[in-house]
Amino acid sequence: MKKITPSFTILAFSLLVFLISDANTAGKQFGKISLPLGKVEVQSPGSDSWVKAKPNRPVFEGDVIRTAAKSRAEITLKGGGKIRLGEKSELELNEANVKPMTKNFKAKLKRGNVFVSAKAAFGEKKNVQLRTPTAVAAIRGTKYRAKAGEDESEVLVYDGKVDVNAAKNVIDERKEKRKSFAPGAPTGKPKFTLGPVTETKAPTQVSGPYEVTLEEWVTLAEGMQINVRKDGKFHMFEFDQSKDGDLEFVQWNKELDAADQ
């Protein structure tokens, strides 16, 4: 019988400790990359490197997925549902809370396009919340597309209803600006000051449709689109579904949805 050397025992123990620690650093499973097309990469929490995504690679809370030009990716959520990334997109997976009849997901779209298709089964509650630099969209078993930009984000609803609000950073910035105008602000100046009477011109009308600041959640029905700027102002309207349907990314998503039925 061969004897087990101390060096082998130490090596095996070290490997076991590494595997356990590595498993503990990974968050809950968010789903898997069921369809990587082109150059699709994943960055794990605490890592500076990007790893090429292979089909059916599991992804977890904290992972970041990005696509290059002429590349796309489909993420199958744990418990059902899809999130699909268009080219030049980057998505951070923040939270996955999956229970038998309740499934909640949170992700941040840093840039690019995503299509969310997450219909809930009978009696099931499914919420997929997507955050962009300027807006937050929360769905309960429906389909929508979101496009992220630093100055403006878009959300379009294809089926069901979507709740949308300004992003938290936009809301917080707006609150801070209001504080600076309040009495007793750090400047020490009152909100209003008296001065000589001067002639004023009539107020000019704000150009464009962005005249309202998004203060609370608004609900979008099928066929509606909302654009939210970084100053919190928004424009909500019916989008041209025929023109939108001509987009290659939209056609690709519809084809995949039809194949899943």
Average of pLDDT values for 87-108? 94
128: Cβ contacts below 8 Å, ≥ 6 apart: 77, 81, 83, 105, 107, 116, 118, 138, 139
252 in a structural domain:
yes
99 in a structural domain:
yes
Question: Is the pLDDT higher at 26 or at 260?
Answer: 260
55 in a structural domain:
no
Domain hosting residue 96, numbered range: 81-179+211-260
What is the number of domains present in the chain?
1
Residue 11 in tokens: 């090596």
DSSP string, 25-44: HS--EEEEEEEEESSEEEE-
CATH of the domain at 90: 2.60.120.1440
Which parts of the chain are beta strand (E)?
A: 29-37, 40-43, 51-52, 57-60, 64-67, 72-77, 82-85, 90-98, 102-117, 125-131, 135-140, 143-148, 152-159, 162-166, 212-213, 218-220, 224-229, 233-238
90 in a structural domain:
yes
Question: What's the confidence (pLDDT) of residue 147?
Answer: 95
Cβ atoms of 30 and 57 within 8 Å: the answer is no
Question: What's the confidence (pLDDT) of residue 23?
Answer: 42
Question: What's the confidence (pLDDT) of residue 172?
Answer: 53
51 in a structural domain:
no
Phi, psi of 95 (to 5 degrees): -155, 140
Phi, psi of 216 (to 5 degrees): -135, 175
Out of 32-36, 163-167, 242-246, least confident range: 163-167
d(CA 172, CA 200): 32
The band of 260, judged by pLDDT with boundaries at 50, 70 and 90, is confident
29 in a structural domain:
no
Question: What's the confidence (pLDDT) of residue 131?
Answer: 94
153 in a structural domain:
yes
Angle 18-22-26 (CA atoms, 0-180°, nearest 5)?
175
pLDDT, tens digit, for every residue of 19-72?
Answer: 444 444 457 999 999 999 999 999 999 999 999 999 999 999 999 999 999 999
Q: Flag whether pLDDT at 242 surpasses 70.
A: yes
Name the pTM for this structure: 0.76
Question: Is the pLDDT higher at 94 or at 26?
Answer: 94
Question: What's the confidence (pLDDT) of residue 166?
Answer: 79
Question: What's the confidence (pLDDT) of residue 124?
Answer: 84
pLDDT, tens digit, for every residue of 99-112?
Answer: 988 899 999 999 99
d(CA 1, CA 166): 70
The band of 153, judged by pLDDT with boundaries at 50, 70 and 90, is very high
248: Cβ contacts below 8 Å, ≥ 6 apart: none
Question: What's the confidence (pLDDT) of residue 211?
Answer: 55
Q: Flag whether pLDDT at 214 surpasses 80.
A: no
88 in a structural domain:
yes
Residue 51 in tokens: 């790893």
